[in-house]
Structure 1
């Protein structure tokens, strides 16, 4: 003989259960729906290195928007092309078709020096004038002289990008939205 759900719990039990837990179950359901919707559009990440200092600090907890178009100045999360098990954060400097070059302490895109007020120090290295291939991006860390980035290993393909960093969530005293600083300088 099989039991039916209604037979296991009498009307009195069901009434007490709804009275005690009914509102909380609906609240929990709403929270689950919100979390599922968030997971469709956002990821979370913890910063492992100093490559984006001073903009983003080690151990910052980030909110990453996964459904985005990317433009110069955006900070992105992506799979490292030479080791796809690792994720990195860098700032997009060169878009597909751009020419990029690093010389005399400045970064040049299409022969124009970028205004980069977010850097602690200018790059001390050089990078020859190079055209960014179609479907790829040239990325650099804000901590230019201590960043393992495109000047070392090459370009990031569009399909390797997880998303764009939109906010630092934790620690609370550092909470802020991450803006595209290059848009503000132009």
Structure 2
């Protein structure tokens, strides 16, 4: 009887580890926000889950994504510009293909002017919601789709 319980427990543990590994590698993973570049939407210490980007993923404007920098560091930002678009900022208003972008999620964040950028195919222009504190596409340039590792950040709770 004890041997059956032990075998059953081992099988359950193996199944749980296998499911966890599958989810982490093919579905999504947990993320903890580090820093204030996405404040007030996401604060330092917030915890959430994201979904892994694959070739079928349709990335949309305003989605919060996880990006991998060339040094391996991961950052969290919001997609603002899509492949093939032209983007610039003048007088605290971002323009996409010469049309003003309405960003209702921003409270009092000011965006400094930046010159016209033409976004190549398979590239994205991303910004942090806390524009004064964010190193984003204004600093790094546009990001290749292959640098976007996860999308659709779902906040679970605040961990401080």
TM-score, normalization: structure 2?
0.86
Q: Which has the higher contact order (CA 8 A, sep 6+)?
A: 2
Gaps of 5+ in 2: none
CA displacement at 1:66 relative to structure 2 = 0.6
Which of 102, 108, 121 is residue 95 of structure 2 equivalent to?
108
Shift >2 Å, 4+ stretches? 20-30, 169-172
Whichever structure has more helix as a proportion of its residues is 1
CA displacement at 1:168 relative to structure 2 = 1.5
CA displacement at 1:22 relative to structure 2 = 4.4
Tell me how far apart the structure 2 counterparts of residues 41 and 65 of structure 1 sit (CA, whole Å): 6
CA displacement at 1:166 relative to structure 2 = 3.0
Tell me how far apart the structure 2 counterparts of residues 104 and 69 of structure 1 sit (CA, whole Å): 31
Tell me how far apart the structure 2 counterparts of residues 28 and 153 of structure 1 sit (CA, whole Å): 43
Match for residue 118 of structure 1?
105
Which of 38, 55, 58 is residue 41 of structure 2 equivalent to?
55
Secondary structure of the structure 1 residue equivalent to 2:138:
helix
Gaps of 5+ in 1: 1-14, 173-186
Tell me, yes or no, if the aligned pair for 2:77 and 2:126 is still in contact at 8 Å: yes
Which of 115, 121, 134 is residue 147 of structure 1 equivalent to?
134
Number of aligned residues: 155
| Cα shift readout 1:52-93 (whole Å, capped 9, x = no counterpart) | 01111111122121133211111111112xx42211111111
**Structure whose alpha-carbon radius of gyration is higher:** 1
CA displacement at 1:139 relative to structure 2 = 0.5
Secondary structure of the structure 2 residue equivalent to 1:84:
coil
CA displacement at 1:26 relative to structure 2 = 3.9
Which of 37, 43, 52 is residue 66 of structure 1 equivalent to?
52
Q: RMSD of the alignment, in Å?
A: 1.8
Secondary structure of the structure 1 residue equivalent to 2:37:
coil
Q: Cα gap change, 1:127/1:46 in structure 2, threshold over 3 Å: closer, same or farther?
A: same
Tell me, yes or no, if the aligned pair for 1:121 and 1:144 is still in contact at 8 Å: no
